[in-house]
Amino acid sequence: GIQVEQSPPDLILQEGANSTLRCNFSDSVNNLQWFHQNPWGQLINLFYIPSGTKQNGRLSATTVATERYSLLYISSSQTTDSGVYFCAVGTGANSKLTFGKGITLSVRP
């Protein structure tokens, strides 16, 4: 099956700093989502981005499908950005998502 690798596995930032989270995948996809998992376990949808670029406030994402990677940018980080960020991809006609192992982000005040 498709492989999803996220990097770096852990990231520590000072409040106000910018960061880039990367997701590499091993096959063509027709679904790619970025999630933020909060301390209570809730998965919050950040972006649905199988290709192209989107922005939402301080967050933006770019997926280059032909090169099989996606990037999540966080600008002017805040302590509330802390948590685990997951990339998940879907392929073909099958609806299921394959998740990466996540990136743990800690933003220090």
Closer Cβ to another protein, 100 or 107, answer by number: 100
Draw the binding track, 17-56, toward another protein (x: CB under 8 A; -: no contact). Answer: -------------xx-x-x----xxxx-x--x-x------
Q: What are the Cα distances from residue 31, in Å, to 50, 82, 83, 97? A: 5, 25, 23, 8
Residue 43 CB, nearest approach to another protein (Å): 4
CA 50 to chain centre: 12
DSSP state of 34: E
Residue 19 CB, nearest approach to another protein (Å): 20
The 10 Å Cβ neighbour count of residue 97 is 17
Q: What are the Cα distances from residue 88, in Å, to 6, 10, 23? A: 10, 18, 9
Residue 68 CB, nearest approach to another protein (Å): 17
Q: What residues line the site for another protein (CB under 8 A)?
A: 1, 4, 30-31, 33, 35, 40-43, 45, 48, 50, 86, 88, 90-102
